[in-house]
Structure 1
Amino acid sequence: MSKIKKSQTQKDESVINNLQEKEKENYGKLLSTTEGLDSVLLKKSEIFSIGRDQTLTLSFPKNNRISGKHCTIEWVEEEETNYGLKKYKVIIKDFSSNGTYVNNQRVGKNKEIELFHSDRISLSAPQGAKSKQPKPVCEFVFQDWSVIPPENMNKGIYKEYEIKHLLGTGNFAEVKYGINKKTKEKYAIKIIDKKKFIGPQDYVGRNRLMDEVKILTRIRHQNLVYLEEIFEDENYLYLVLELVTGGDLLDQIINKGAYTEKKSRIIFKQLLEVMDYLHSEGIVHRDLKPENILLKLKDNDSFIKVADFGVSRIIKHDTFMQTIAGTPAYLAPEIIFQGDKNGYGKECDYWSLGVILYVIISGLEPFGVEEGNLKGQYKQIKTANIIFPEEEFGHISVAAKNLIRRFITVDIKKRITIKQALKHPWMLNKNKLVKDEFQTEYEKDSDSDSDSCFDLKPNSNSNSNSNSKMKSSSNSNSNSDSESDSNTKKKQTKSKNNIDENNIRKRKLVNVSEEDGITKEKQIKQNLKKQSKAKQKN
């Protein structure tokens, strides 16, 4: 009986497995741009060190411009998040006298900073030094393999994907329909033009971009458009995204009218849960609106996918404000009036959630003004001046309007949080607000007065007409889930009448249906006459 030997196929598989294991050990590469100096791999299991000391990973024993221990580069894995995802970062520490430079900025002795994909590292001098100044001893480009795998760096996306018709366009990107040549799977490929918002020397912008890409690669939620893989070349970043074929929420409302309270609750619960997940991962959307809420399938108008939760983070505030100029209806007042001077957090998404719920349930926008009258719109937003027109909200429950008001509150400390909203009576399908029943649970998650969350009294931010609207609507049937078909059809007809398809161009950065490669020009029309009449009565 002879011994069993490995077949050639088994040997090949063994070699492949060994290579894969080695790739898992390595998190990146220092690509040398210095003549005569080889590139080096970076391992998760060791701290990469550079200096004159010959015991270090990379040694320059005879170069006096290099310190004994000049700098180190280390992979740092952080604790798992609430959703089981592991976070990490790559840290470079400077111990030198002559300096360690990242993108021509000196780190500083005994200081550390985080490294990002495509960062340029130089030792003892910045890059591009003048002729009379000393040149760097060595220069590297950091490649983060978790951002872009090494196999994707030397081949173009066009070798892997067949890229077809245009699905949508935006200020910084366009989205095209793509098919994987091997698997035949269909995707939406977002092509981001890096030159439009990061210049060749804008290392901060590049860091911001790659930081965002790193986030996109690690998050997973059933209500998020997932990122399959990434490609990059000199001018463009290619994001291969899940293809969502149901269009967006705005188009759905335009075409079929406002949702019933029952369906609104189904959609809004998904929206609250996915935003709670993003916030737990440290991601603030900042540009949440119906155009960025997609419907997974054409025949299911209740299964949503949130898109573009990363793009707004990689754009500088001034540029971001320019991109939304003319359409600030969903932005929180702290973004519009404070900018990024005082900073803003996840509370700005809370505000947007309230505006979106208003739109879903009525087919109207709460801050409606004449086209081009941004000053008037800003004034409404600054004071949270919203009303609930009887025709659209007369049949809507008091609890629903209460939740909208709790989100659309100027004072961020009084603005309802997502965790509080998930326990709100409307979300629990309870149309009568029973204070004692929710008091204990609410206090657990709130730093503010619990009475303010479930109190039916109108918000002090509203005008007197808003108060009267709340009172009049409270006398109507609060259980909208049992409303008649005739009322539903009437509401949908009214919603369609409030659409102006030629108002402004709706430029998408998101997926649309496979057959529809044309960006649509639609936006919810403002209910000006009703609001102006209501103000005149006051």
Structure 2
Amino acid sequence: MRRMSRETGGESQQQQKQQSQQSQQSHSQGGSSSSSGPQSSSQSSSTGSGTHSSLDTLPTQELLASIPEDTEPEDLPKPWGRLWALAAGFWNHNCIDDEYWFGRDKSCGYCFDHPALNRTERFKTYSKKHFHIIREKGPGNSFVVYIEDHSGNGTFINGDLLGRGKKLPLTNNNEIALCLPSHKVFVFSDLTVDDQSEHPEDFRKQYIMSKMLGSGACGEVKLAFEKSTCKKVAVKIIGKKKFGMDVSGSADRVGNVHTEIEILKKLDHPCIIKIENFFEGDDAYYIVLELMEGGELFNRVVTSQRLKESTAKLFFYQMLLAVKYLHENGITHRDLKTENVLLSSNSEECLIKITDFGQSKILGETTLMKTLCGTPTYLAPEIIETAGTAGYSNAVDLWSLGVILFVCLSGYPPFTEQNRNMSLKDQITRGQYTLIPSIWRNISEEAKDLVKKLLVVDPQQRLTTDEALNHPWLKDEGIIQQAHQLMRLEAEATLPSQLSGSRKRSHEEDEEENGGGGPSKRSAPSTPLLQTTLERNRRGLL
């Protein structure tokens, strides 16, 4: 804010002329600020090139003379909403005015014609005026925010097509996608709604909580933004009451949980989700995790019906390396499943990371196993037979990996409640599963052999991680090199999302936004039997 005062407090006409030129230059550079509309107090201190230039070129005495005595910030209007950028090339936007246009046209308050975007292939699919956000007076002193679609290729709210010329209310945590439902660009935060106070104070000082990403037996996961960097993170929230934990928080219990979390935070492997922070509230634990943009392996399998064998091999090799690392550090995962394998991008060949390890350190061994035994699709026979009360080795993770590999290759689970001839428990404890010939005939014998040697009821006869890594199916130098390259690049690489195979209209074909119908009709994908089976088996497994 002081920098803005310096710029507005110049006394000479020469300085004012210089500042005017710099202001025009800054305005033409769409990415020099997180918002192309009126700036909030936090945005006014951004380090645009024009600002640096004006400070660097003024002599020291002249600069000091230009500083007003009163450098208190002016009363700037507070934003009523914020758009958090989800896609690469976009930037966060504070909503202060009552309306904003978004699109390629330079007249738009949020103009896409910026080097970070106009050099991408996706830029051709955006419209000159893609969508419009309006805030209108509502009942009493309230306001209603609307989003209106003006595009040729579509604007999507939470995955649903809005439709050209149509508008809907825009509410807190709504996701906005452009051209494709999967191309999520923003999540909207209604800053007039106080939904942050329910979270611990220490958490609120560092993060802003946003939309739900998923929920399941062991808690829920939400998207959040780090205040200092706007970095996206995932936050796992584990309720204490649900697992019979001492809500009052005895000193011994609290100390143990914090100690165990500190140990888990030190784990460092490119195929394991990094725990970035930990907070304890009155009713829940908050685990801050790095966010994986590609989502869950489960969704990838459902969308594809099943993975190509080469893709399954690349993913499975990385899983084995991650589990081997956990075992070497004395950690048995216990809850490996496709939902707990996350992908770095939507690319077919990408890095994977395992999450939700070490939950027993927080919930306690007995509580965790009772929870998991309620939905045992991926659990090893030795856990099922004793309901998790007896001792078992880290061989349980190899069984779960066998189930994951089976699902990746075939698109359906080996053990399912849909089997009317045998209970789920009996299927698992007897190791009874079926290789459907029409699906497995195109899968290599080596892959089938690895699945069979992992899904062995006797844990003593089951493969170890080292034995699995040395299995002939995984002695593929091309896959090994590719996996290690992905791991080496993990710290710096952001793999771009791939465009859909269906051709999108370019902006040259967009009729320059004059007349014409909306986007072409899209046929809904069919839901095959195998996908339905997977969806049913997913219930309660997050």
Corresponding residue to 1:355 among 383, 397, 403: 403
Change (3 A) 1:414 1:208: farther
Contact 2:359 2:368 in 1 (8 A): no
Alignment partner, residue 54 of structure 2: none
In the other structure, the counterpart of 1:106 is none
Give, in angstroms, the shift of residue 366 of structure 1.
1.1
* Map of 1:186 onto structure 2: 232
Residue in structure 2 matched with residue 132 of structure 1 by the alignment: none
Query: Quick one: which amino acid aligns to residue 327 of structure 2?
Result: H
Alpha-carbon distance in 1 for matches of 2:406, 2:218: 29
Q: Which amino acid in structure 2 is aligned with residue 284 of structure 1? A: T
Q: Which residue, 345, 349, 372 being the options, matches 2:393?
A: 345
CA contact (8 A) 1:254 1:495 kept: no
Letter aligned with residue 176 of structure 1? K
In structure 1, the partner of 2:346 is 298
Q: Which residue of 2 aligns with 1:41?
A: none
Match of 2:428 in 1: 381
Q: 2:530 aligns with which of 487, 491, 498?
A: 498
Residues 296-445 of structure 1: pairs in structure 2 closer than 5 A: 296-300=344-348, 302-325=350-373, 327-370=375-418, 376-429=423-476
TM-aligned CA deviation for residue 260 of structure 1? 1.7
Q: How does 1:62-461 map to 2 (within 5 A)?
A: 156-197=202-243, 198-199=245-246, 200=248, 206=254, 209-300=257-348, 302-325=350-373, 327-370=375-418, 376-429=423-476
Paired residue type of 1:356: I
Instruction: Look up the match of 1:528.
Output: none
Structure-2 change in CA distance of 1:495 and 1:422 (3 Å): farther
Alpha-carbon separation, structure 2, partners of 1:322 and 1:495: 33
The structural deviation recorded for 1:201 is: 6.6
Counterparts in 2 of 1:399 and 1:502: CA distance versus 1, 3 Å: closer
* Structure 2 CA distance for partners of 1:171 and 1:381, relative to 1, 3 Å: closer
Instruction: Judge conservation of contact 1:254–1:496 (CA < 8 Å) in 2.
Output: no
The 1:504/1:259 distance shift into structure 2, 3 A limit, reads: closer
Alpha-carbon contact 1:295-1:303 (below 8 Å) kept: yes
Cα shift readout 1:276-317 (whole Å, capped 9, x = no counterpart): 000001010001000111111123454211110122443345
Q: CA deviation at 1:322?
A: 4.4
The share of aligned pairs that are identical, in percent, is 36
Q: 1:330 to 1:208 in 2, by over 3 A?
A: farther
How far residue 502 of structure 1 moved from its aligned partner, in angstroms, is: 6.1
Q: Which amino acid aligns with 1:193?
A: G
After TM superposition, give the deviation of residue 404 of structure 1 in Å: 0.8
Q: Distance in 2 between matches of 1:421 and 1:503?
A: 30
Conservation of the 8 A alpha-carbon contact between 2:370 and 2:387? no
Deviations 1:107-158 (A, max 9, x none): xxxxxxxxxxxxxxxxxxxxxxxxxxxxxxxxxxxxxxxxxxxxxxx95211
Give the CA deviation at 1:427: 0.6
Cα separation, 1, equivalents of 2:400 and 2:310:
20
| CA distance in 2 between partners of 1:239 and 1:357 (Å) | 28
Shift of 1:357: 0.8
Q: CA deviation at 1:163?
A: 1.2
Structure 1 Cα separation of the partners of residues 442 and 348 of structure 2: 25
CA contact (8 A) 2:380 2:428 kept: yes
Unpaired runs of 5+ residues, structure 1, are: 1-153, 431-492, 510-538
Q: Residue 342 and residue 218 in structure 1: after superposition, are their counterparts in 2 closer, same or farther (change >3 A)?
A: same
- Say whether the 8 Å CA contact 2:238–2:286 is kept in structure 1: yes
Going from structure 1 to structure 2, the CA distance change for 1:222 and 1:342 (only over 3 Å counts) comes to same
One-letter identity of the residue aligned with 1:186: K
AA aligned opposite 2:205: K
8 Å CA contact 1:293–1:305 kept in 2: the answer is yes
Give the whole-Å Cα distance in 1 for the aligned partners of 2:439 and 2:527: 8
Secondary structure of the residue that 2:409 maps to in structure 1? helix
Deviation of 1:245 (Å)? 1.7
What does the per-residue CA deviation read over 1:74-108, in whole Å, with 9 as the maximum and x for residues that have no partner?
xxxxxxxxxxxxxxxxxxxxxxxxxxxxxxxxxxx
Judging changes above 3 Å, is the alpha-carbon distance between structure 1 residues 336 and 494 closer, same or farther for their aligned structure 2 residues? farther
Query: By how many angstroms is 1:214 displaced?
Result: 2.4
Task: Write the distance in 2 (CA, Å) between the matches of 1:237 and 1:353.
Answer: 28
SS across alignment from 1:252: helix
CA positional deviation for 1:337? 0.7
For the residues of structure 2 that align with 1:358 and 1:505, how far apart are their CA atoms? 15
Taking the aligned partners of 1:508 and 1:192, their CA distance within structure 2 comes to: 15
Aligned residue for 1:188, secondary structure, equals strand
Q: Describe the SS at the equivalent of 2:295.
A: coil
| 1:17 alignment counterpart | none
Q: Cα distance, 1:426 vs. partner?
A: 0.7
Deviations 1:223-279 (A, max 9, x none): 111111222233332222101121111111111121122111111100000000000
Tell me how far apart the structure 2 counterparts of residues 498 and 359 of structure 1 sit (CA, whole Å). 10
Taking a change above 3 Å as real, the CA distance of residues 262 and 160 of structure 1, as seen in their structure-2 partners, is same
Aligned residues: 294
Contact 2:271 2:322 in 1 (8 A): yes
SS state at 2:463 partner: coil
CA distance, structure 2, for counterparts of residue 244 and residue 265 of structure 1: 20
* Cα drift, residue 394 of structure 1: 0.8
**Partner letter of residue 384 of structure 1?**
G
Aligned Cα root-mean-square deviation (Å)? 2.9
Cα drift, residue 192 of structure 1: 2.4
Letter in 1 for 2:536: N
Contact 1:162/1:181 (<8 A) preserved = yes
**Is the contact made by 2:271 and 2:352 (CA closer than 8 Å) also made in structure 1?**
yes
State how far apart, in whole Å, the 2-side matches of 1:496 and 1:278 are: 36
- Give the secondary-structure state (helix, strand or coil) at the position aligned to 1:327: coil
Contact 1:359–1:366 (8 Å) recurs in 2: yes
Q: Secondary structure at the match of 1:237?
A: strand
Give me the whole-angstrom Cα distance separating, in 1, the residues matched to 2:265 and 2:365.
24
Please state how far the C-alpha of 1:202 moved relative to its aligned partner: 6.5
Q: Equivalents in 1 of 2:210, 2:381: separation in Å?
A: 40
How far 1:494 moved relative to its partner?
11
1:362·1:495 contact (CA, 8 Å) conserved in 2?
A: no
